[in-house]
Amino acid sequence: MALFHEAEIPKWQKITGYVFSIIFSIQILMAGIMKIIGNPDMTANMAKLGSIGENIFLIGLGELFLLLLYWLPLSRKLGFYLLCSFVGGIIATELIGGRPIFIGISTATLLYAGTIMRFPSLIISQKVPAKK
């Protein structure tokens, strides 16, 4: 990952990005733990989804694994892109289950905004010289 964009980030932007990313991570961490320990409310909600709900333990492990990839510096980019796909699945699952999609959209917003504020090189591939 190119680091030349990260050197130019204002301090407020980096701090805000970390706050968003930490809030997002807490959401995913708690959801993953609740799925792994078999929380009754989580199990009941997942059971409503049919065959997806049968794999609740694996989904929880997957959430925690993706979160680990996201926070490890060497796999940050891979973790970000996989979590983007995962969050899209959260939104789709909420739509299928007939639930409001606000949670999925807010989770996705925290992921995208927090990560891009901290690492703009994920979406900006090269530095473009300013025109004079």
Instruction: Give the rounded distance of the alpha carbon of 110 from its chain centre.
Output: 8
Per-residue pLDDT band at 131 (split at 50, 70, 90): low
Chain-centroid distance, C-alpha 98? 22
User: What pLDDT score was predicted for residue 127?
Assistant: 57
Q: What is the pLDDT of residues 73-109, one digit of tens each?
A: 999 999 999 999 999 999 998 888 888 899 899 999 9
Q: Give φ, ψ of 100 to 5 degrees.
A: -65, 145
Residues 19-28: tens digit of each pLDDT: 999 999 999 9
